[in-house]
Amino acid sequence: MINGIIGRKLGMTQLFAPDGTVTPVTVIKAGPCVVVQTKSSAGPDGYDAVQLGLVEDKPVRLKNVTKPMRGHFEKTGGGTPPTRVLKEFRLETATSETGVGDKVLVDQFADGDSIEVVGQSKGRGFAGTVKRHHFNRGPESHGSMNVRAPGSIGASAYPSRVVKGIRSSGHMGDERVTIRGLTVARVDVENNLLMVRGAVPGANGSVVIIKKAVRQKKRP
């Protein structure tokens, strides 16, 4: 069984309960997806997985597909159209129920399900240590010039270099982020919409991966 789907983040909105309670949710257009390739532990791949393609409203023209990818889609026997987004989902055990060309829809989720969402965070450009790593600033009185400086970054005599892994200024954001412990607030099967309570990583229109939670996030 495939416990996941590919989607695009549309934005955030609010859900109103009959008692007036407001819940902020992120709307994700999840799927429809199609199985492009299957892998099994008995085959040359050595593990059980499926490759899903996100079927979008604007189809991909065959002339815009590279020759290697065109051959990859032709292996399906014409059962799957070319897609821009391909993601692989691991399976615990191989199942004969899943085959190339099968559709994966958002109906596998239900209200109240615990999920985890993987996305590419927003890029913030070059940032200093205060913004990037939440360093404390230095004193601003008595002529101090160490207000937002990082401070000591290593010893002078030994090893006489900056050790790898030291938190410093640099490119902030634009990295793969996984948020666990999210909850499905509402599922719209007819429009392939998944409403997740809270925020998910990424900008509006970015690709996200939604999976059923493997482990629960510890809450205070």
What confidence score (pLDDT) does residue 116 get? Answer: 92
Alpha carbon 56 to its chain's center: 17
Asked if residue 106 lies in contact with residue 27, where contact means CB atoms within 8 angstroms, the answer is: no
pTM: 0.81
- pLDDT for residue 113 is more than 80: yes
Tokens linked to 150: 């990082």
Residue 69 phi/psi, 5-degree rounding, is -70, -30
- pLDDT for residue 51 is more than 60: yes
The alpha helices in the chain, defined as continuous H runs, are 67-74, 129-133
Average pLDDT for 190-194: 90
Helix (H) or strand (E) segment spanning residue 150:
none
* Class in CATH terms, 4-124+176-212: alpha beta
Residue 139 phi/psi, 5-degree rounding, is -70, 150
Range(s) of the chain covered by CATH 3.30.160.810? 4-124+176-212
What confidence score (pLDDT) does residue 174 get? Answer: 92
| pLDDT tier at 74, thresholds 50, 70, 90 | confident
| pLDDT tier at 22, thresholds 50, 70, 90 | very high
- pLDDT for residue 217 is more than 60: no
What confidence score (pLDDT) does residue 163 get? Answer: 92
| pLDDT tier at 42, thresholds 50, 70, 90 | confident
End-to-end alpha carbon distance in the chain: 32
